[in-house]
Amino acid sequence: MLTLHSYPGLFGVADNNPFGLKVFAAMRLGGLAFRHAHISDASRAPRGQLPYLTDGAETVGDSAAIIAHLEAHRGLTLDRALTPARAYNAQRYRYQGIGRFTPEQAYARGIGNLAAVGAQLPAEGFVFGTVPCSLDAAIYGFVANTRFYPTGTPPRAWVLGHPAPLRHCDAIHASIA
């Protein structure tokens, strides 16, 4: 049995960390059967970070590595309909990170990233059509953690004020509930 080890849920989302939520969404959207173990102590996790996956005797850490493992060994096929050019772009999005910034810089960068993604989201459906792919799961992982947490941050205000990311987040949330 597959077990996804990740932080506890919070405010209606299954994980309060965007990387764990990305993996959770990918597994649910892909129809994989798994147990979701909520933990707070990451000391036994690979590199001391959550999420991680146990698949029998194998342990896989890092959200991108987990999804790659599930594609290679468990038949996860969220990206099966992508053309080579769209698949290349989807891979590029997996390797981006925020780095170390002041809160104001992080908020500004976050809003810039949300705006860039929001401008590409269709009015209906998902990133590449009517069926969600791993990029939709990744977008959900970040937008849901911004949308559902009742904070007064500028990124949350931006998400709540823009229909495209709000609609996309709610569609994925409804799909995996």
All structural domains of the chain, each given as residue ranges with its CATH number in brackets, are 2-176 (1.20.1050.130)
Q: Which pLDDT value is given to residue 94?
A: 46
Q: Which pLDDT value is given to residue 177?
A: 83
Q: Could you read off the pLDDT tens digit of each residue along the chain, which spans 177 residues?
A: 899 999 998 888 898 888 999 999 999 999 999 999 999 998 888 888 999 999 999 999 989 899 989 999 999 988 877 776 675 555 554 444 444 567 788 789 889 989 999 999 999 999 999 999 999 999 999 899 889 988 889 999 999 999 999 999 999 999 998
Residue 17 CB partners (closer than 8 Å, separation 6+): 6, 7, 50, 51, 145
Confirm if 2 and 74 have CB atoms less than 8 A apart: yes
pTM for the predicted model, two decimal places: 0.64
